[in-house]
Copies of this chain bind each other. A is one copy, B any other.
Protein backbone atom coordinates (compact mmCIF):
# COMPACT_ATOMS: atom_id res chain seq x y z
CA UNK A 1 0.00 0.00 0.00
CA UNK A 2 2.59 2.52 1.12
CA UNK A 3 4.75 1.50 -1.84
CA UNK A 4 1.95 2.45 -4.14
CA UNK A 5 1.33 5.82 -2.51
CA UNK A 6 5.01 6.69 -2.71
CA UNK A 7 5.01 5.58 -6.31
CA UNK A 8 2.17 8.01 -7.02
CA UNK A 9 3.93 10.98 -5.52
CA UNK A 10 7.38 10.26 -6.97
CA UNK A 11 6.17 9.67 -10.52
CA UNK A 12 3.16 11.92 -11.24
CA UNK A 13 2.52 10.59 -14.77
CA UNK A 14 1.94 7.01 -13.77
CA UNK A 15 3.00 4.15 -15.90
CA UNK A 16 0.06 2.82 -17.90
CA UNK A 17 1.25 -0.73 -17.26
CA UNK A 18 1.16 -0.18 -13.52
CA UNK A 19 -2.40 1.06 -13.82
CA UNK A 20 -3.53 -1.99 -15.77
CA UNK A 21 -1.79 -4.59 -13.62
CA UNK A 22 -2.14 -3.19 -10.11
CA UNK A 23 -5.28 -1.10 -10.25
CA UNK A 24 -8.83 -1.66 -11.33
CA UNK A 25 -10.11 1.88 -11.85
CA UNK A 26 -9.74 1.95 -15.63
CA UNK A 27 -11.66 -0.36 -18.03
CA UNK A 28 -8.34 -1.89 -19.15
CA UNK A 29 -7.39 -2.61 -15.53
CA UNK A 30 -10.76 -4.22 -14.86
CA UNK A 31 -10.51 -6.44 -17.92
CA UNK A 32 -6.99 -7.45 -16.98
CA UNK A 33 -8.10 -8.43 -13.49
CA UNK A 34 -11.15 -10.30 -14.72
CA UNK A 35 -9.03 -12.21 -17.25
CA UNK A 36 -6.51 -13.06 -14.55
CA UNK A 37 -9.14 -14.47 -12.17
CA UNK A 38 -10.53 -16.66 -14.97
CA UNK A 39 -6.99 -17.86 -15.86
CA UNK A 40 -6.25 -18.70 -12.21
CA UNK A 41 -9.44 -20.73 -11.83
CA UNK A 42 -8.85 -22.50 -15.18
CA UNK A 43 -5.27 -23.35 -14.28
CA UNK A 44 -6.30 -24.75 -10.88
CA UNK A 45 -8.98 -26.80 -12.65
CA UNK A 46 -6.32 -28.10 -15.07
CA UNK A 47 -4.11 -29.34 -12.24
CA UNK A 48 -7.08 -30.89 -10.43
CA UNK A 49 -8.36 -32.72 -13.50
CA UNK A 50 -4.87 -33.96 -14.37
CA UNK A 51 -4.70 -35.71 -10.98
CA UNK A 52 -7.67 -37.91 -11.92
CA UNK A 53 -6.09 -41.14 -13.27
CA UNK A 54 -8.66 -41.77 -16.05
CA UNK A 55 -8.48 -38.19 -17.34
CA UNK A 56 -4.67 -38.16 -17.07
CA UNK A 57 -4.48 -41.33 -19.17
CA UNK A 58 -6.57 -39.81 -21.96
CA UNK A 59 -5.76 -36.10 -21.92
CA UNK A 60 -2.50 -36.04 -19.91
CA UNK A 61 -0.43 -34.43 -22.66
CA UNK A 62 -2.97 -31.71 -23.44
CA UNK A 63 -3.40 -30.81 -19.77
CA UNK A 64 0.37 -30.68 -19.28
CA UNK A 65 0.69 -28.29 -22.23
CA UNK A 66 -2.13 -26.14 -20.85
CA UNK A 67 -0.50 -26.03 -17.42
CA UNK A 68 2.79 -24.85 -18.94
CA UNK A 69 0.92 -22.17 -20.91
CA UNK A 70 -0.70 -20.89 -17.73
CA UNK A 71 2.60 -20.99 -15.86
CA UNK A 72 4.39 -19.01 -18.59
CA UNK A 73 1.59 -16.42 -18.59
CA UNK A 74 1.80 -16.11 -14.79
CA UNK A 75 5.59 -15.82 -15.05
CA UNK A 76 5.28 -12.94 -17.53
CA UNK A 77 2.72 -11.33 -15.19
CA UNK A 78 5.13 -11.74 -12.26
CA UNK A 79 8.06 -10.21 -14.17
CA UNK A 80 5.90 -7.29 -15.37
CA UNK A 81 4.77 -6.67 -11.81
CA UNK A 82 8.39 -6.58 -10.64
CA UNK A 83 9.32 -4.18 -13.45
CA UNK A 84 6.51 -1.65 -13.13
CA UNK A 85 6.21 -1.46 -9.36
CA UNK A 86 8.08 1.30 -7.53
CA UNK A 87 9.84 -0.89 -4.99
CA UNK A 88 10.22 -4.42 -6.45
CA UNK A 89 11.70 -5.90 -3.24
CA UNK A 90 8.87 -4.67 -1.05
CA UNK A 91 6.39 -6.22 -3.48
CA UNK A 92 8.39 -9.47 -3.69
CA UNK A 93 8.26 -10.05 0.07
CA UNK A 94 4.64 -8.91 0.50
CA UNK A 95 1.93 -11.57 1.01
CA UNK A 96 0.65 -11.34 -2.55
CA UNK A 97 4.16 -11.09 -3.98
CA UNK A 98 5.05 -14.39 -2.32
CA UNK A 99 1.80 -15.97 -3.52
CA UNK A 100 2.59 -14.88 -7.08
CA UNK A 101 6.02 -16.48 -6.82
CA UNK A 102 4.73 -19.69 -5.20
CA UNK A 103 2.13 -19.90 -7.96
CA UNK A 104 4.80 -20.47 -10.61
CA UNK A 105 7.65 -22.29 -8.82
CA UNK A 106 5.97 -25.76 -8.47
CA UNK A 107 5.54 -26.18 -12.23
CA UNK A 108 9.20 -25.29 -12.89
CA UNK A 109 10.24 -27.84 -10.26
CA UNK A 110 7.98 -30.58 -11.68
CA UNK A 111 10.59 -32.03 -14.10
CA UNK A 112 12.76 -32.66 -11.02
CA UNK A 113 10.14 -33.59 -8.41
CA UNK A 114 7.04 -34.78 -10.21
CA UNK A 115 4.57 -34.43 -7.31
CA UNK A 116 5.53 -30.77 -6.81
CA UNK A 117 3.32 -29.73 -9.69
CA UNK A 118 0.20 -30.42 -7.63
CA UNK A 119 1.40 -27.74 -5.23
CA UNK A 120 0.71 -25.17 -7.92
CA UNK A 121 -2.92 -25.18 -6.77
CA UNK A 122 -1.61 -22.71 -4.20
CA UNK A 123 -2.17 -20.16 -6.97
CA UNK A 124 -5.84 -20.21 -5.98
CA UNK A 125 -4.73 -17.78 -3.28
CA UNK A 126 -4.35 -15.23 -6.10
CA UNK A 127 -8.13 -15.23 -6.27
CA UNK A 128 -8.12 -13.50 -2.90
CA UNK A 129 -6.10 -10.62 -4.36
CA UNK A 130 -8.30 -10.19 -7.37
CA UNK A 131 -11.09 -10.00 -4.86
CA UNK A 132 -9.40 -7.00 -3.27
CA UNK A 133 -8.27 -5.40 -6.50
CA UNK A 134 -11.76 -5.57 -8.01
CA UNK A 135 -12.60 -2.81 -5.53
CA UNK A 136 -15.36 -4.78 -3.93
CA UNK A 137 -15.22 -2.03 -1.35
CA UNK A 138 -17.98 -3.40 0.81
CA UNK A 139 -16.60 -6.91 0.71
CA UNK A 140 -13.19 -5.73 1.81
CA UNK A 141 -14.75 -3.93 4.77
CA UNK A 142 -16.61 -7.09 5.70
CA UNK A 143 -13.37 -9.06 5.56
CA UNK A 144 -11.86 -6.33 7.73
CA UNK A 145 -14.58 -6.67 10.37
CA UNK A 146 -14.10 -10.44 10.34
CA UNK A 147 -10.33 -10.08 10.68
CA UNK A 148 -10.77 -7.55 13.50
CA UNK A 149 -13.20 -9.85 15.34
CA UNK A 150 -10.80 -12.79 15.00
CA UNK A 151 -7.87 -10.62 16.11
CA UNK A 152 -9.74 -9.25 19.12
CA UNK A 153 -10.62 -12.78 20.25
CA UNK A 154 -7.18 -14.30 19.55
CA UNK A 155 -6.38 -14.71 23.25
CA UNK A 156 -9.63 -16.49 23.96
CA UNK A 157 -9.00 -18.76 20.99
CA UNK A 158 -5.51 -19.60 22.32
CA UNK A 159 -6.96 -20.42 25.77
CA UNK A 160 -9.61 -22.56 24.08
CA UNK A 161 -7.10 -24.45 21.90
CA UNK A 162 -4.80 -25.14 24.90
CA UNK A 163 -7.79 -26.55 26.77
CA UNK A 164 -8.81 -28.73 23.81
CA UNK A 165 -5.23 -30.00 23.36
CA UNK A 166 -4.94 -31.00 27.03
CA UNK A 167 -8.34 -32.65 26.87
CA UNK A 168 -7.68 -34.79 23.78
CA UNK A 169 -4.28 -35.99 25.05
CA UNK A 170 -5.77 -37.17 28.36
CA UNK A 171 -8.91 -38.68 26.78
CA UNK A 172 -6.85 -40.36 24.05
CA UNK A 173 -4.54 -41.97 26.62
CA UNK A 174 -7.48 -43.19 28.71
CA UNK A 175 -9.15 -44.69 25.66
CA UNK A 176 -5.89 -46.41 24.69
CA UNK A 177 -5.80 -48.08 28.10
CA UNK A 178 -9.51 -49.04 27.96
CA UNK A 179 -9.92 -50.07 24.31
CA UNK A 180 -6.33 -50.90 23.39
CA UNK A 181 -6.31 -54.66 23.92
CA UNK A 182 -9.87 -55.38 22.69
CA UNK A 183 -10.08 -53.05 19.69
CA UNK A 184 -8.07 -53.07 16.48
CA UNK A 185 -8.46 -49.29 16.05
CA UNK A 186 -6.84 -47.90 19.19
CA UNK A 187 -3.33 -49.18 18.40
CA UNK A 188 -1.35 -46.35 20.00
CA UNK A 189 -1.80 -43.16 22.01
CA UNK A 190 -1.31 -40.86 18.96
CA UNK A 191 -3.97 -42.87 17.12
CA UNK A 192 -6.29 -42.58 20.15
CA UNK A 193 -5.66 -38.85 20.36
CA UNK A 194 -6.59 -38.65 16.67
CA UNK A 195 -9.82 -40.52 17.50
CA UNK A 196 -10.48 -38.10 20.38
CA UNK A 197 -10.16 -35.13 17.99
CA UNK A 198 -12.42 -36.82 15.41
CA UNK A 199 -15.03 -37.38 18.12
CA UNK A 200 -14.76 -34.09 20.00
CA UNK A 201 -15.19 -32.07 16.82
CA UNK A 202 -18.27 -34.22 15.99
CA UNK A 203 -16.70 -35.26 12.66
CA UNK A 204 -17.00 -38.97 13.53
CA UNK A 205 -15.48 -40.89 10.61
CA UNK A 206 -16.20 -44.24 12.20
CA UNK A 207 -12.92 -45.78 11.00
CA UNK A 208 -12.01 -46.10 14.69
CA UNK A 209 -14.85 -46.52 17.17
CA UNK A 210 -15.06 -47.89 20.73
CA UNK A 211 -16.30 -51.47 21.18
CA UNK A 212 -16.20 -52.08 24.95
CA UNK A 213 -19.06 -50.78 27.16
CA UNK A 214 -16.62 -48.68 29.22
CA UNK A 215 -15.10 -47.21 26.04
CA UNK A 216 -18.53 -46.38 24.66
CA UNK A 217 -19.47 -44.75 27.94
CA UNK A 218 -16.35 -42.55 27.91
CA UNK A 219 -16.95 -41.80 24.21
CA UNK A 220 -20.50 -40.67 25.03
CA UNK A 221 -19.13 -38.21 27.56
CA UNK A 222 -16.61 -36.91 25.00
CA UNK A 223 -19.40 -36.43 22.43
CA UNK A 224 -21.68 -34.51 24.78
CA UNK A 225 -18.64 -32.46 25.82
CA UNK A 226 -17.74 -31.73 22.21
CA UNK A 227 -21.35 -30.92 21.40
CA UNK A 228 -21.41 -28.48 24.31
CA UNK A 229 -18.05 -26.77 23.99
CA UNK A 230 -18.65 -26.09 20.31
CA UNK A 231 -20.55 -23.23 21.90
CA UNK A 232 -17.36 -21.66 23.20
CA UNK A 233 -15.68 -20.54 19.92
CA UNK A 234 -19.12 -19.59 18.58
CA UNK A 235 -19.73 -17.49 21.66
CA UNK A 236 -16.28 -15.91 21.41
CA UNK A 237 -16.65 -14.79 17.81
CA UNK A 238 -20.33 -13.84 18.05
CA UNK A 239 -19.74 -11.59 21.07
CA UNK A 240 -16.68 -9.96 19.47
CA UNK A 241 -18.50 -9.49 16.21
CA UNK A 242 -21.54 -8.06 17.91
CA UNK A 243 -19.39 -5.56 19.75
CA UNK A 244 -17.31 -4.68 16.69
CA UNK A 245 -20.51 -3.94 14.77
CA UNK A 246 -21.96 -1.90 17.63
CA UNK A 247 -18.75 0.04 18.11
CA UNK A 248 -18.85 0.94 14.43
CA UNK A 249 -22.40 2.18 14.90
CA UNK A 250 -21.97 4.27 18.04
CA UNK A 251 -18.85 6.43 17.91
CA UNK A 252 -18.05 7.97 21.27
CA UNK A 253 -19.54 11.43 20.70
CA UNK A 254 -20.17 13.54 23.73
CA UNK A 255 -22.29 16.69 24.04
CA UNK A 256 -20.09 19.80 24.49
CA UNK A 257 -22.78 21.37 26.73
CA UNK A 258 -23.97 18.61 29.10
CA UNK A 259 -21.23 16.05 28.43
CA UNK A 260 -23.64 13.19 27.77
CA UNK A 261 -22.46 10.45 25.42
CA UNK A 262 -24.06 7.66 23.38
CA UNK A 263 -25.27 9.86 20.55
CA UNK A 264 -26.08 8.30 17.21
CA UNK A 265 -23.80 8.83 14.25
CA UNK A 266 -26.44 11.00 12.54
CA UNK A 267 -27.44 13.06 15.58
CA UNK A 268 -26.98 16.83 15.29
CA UNK A 269 -28.39 17.88 18.65
CA UNK A 270 -27.80 16.39 22.09
CA UNK A 271 -30.72 14.12 22.92
CA UNK A 272 -30.50 14.99 26.62
CA UNK A 273 -30.06 18.78 26.74
CA UNK A 274 -30.93 19.78 23.17
CA UNK A 275 -27.62 21.63 22.62
CA UNK A 276 -25.89 21.72 19.25
CA UNK A 277 -23.42 18.81 18.90
Contacts and interface: CB of A to CB of B under 8 A. Distances in A.
Interface string A37-50: 00000001001110
Residues of A contacting B: mostly: helix
Interface in A196-213: 197-207, 209, 213
Contact of A122 (B139, B170, B207): B170
Given A193-B48, A213-B190, A272-B269, A201 B202 contact: yes
Contacts of A17: none
Stoichiometry, as copies per complex, reads: 4
A268 interface: yes
A53 B189 CA distance: 10
Interface of A: 44, 47-49, 51-53, 115, 118-119, 121-122, 124-125, 127-128, 131, 138-139, 142-143, 145-146, 149, 155-162, 164-166, 169-170, 173, 176-177, 187-191, 193-194, 197-207, 209, 213, 216-217, 219-220, 223-224, 226-228, 230-243, 245, 260-276
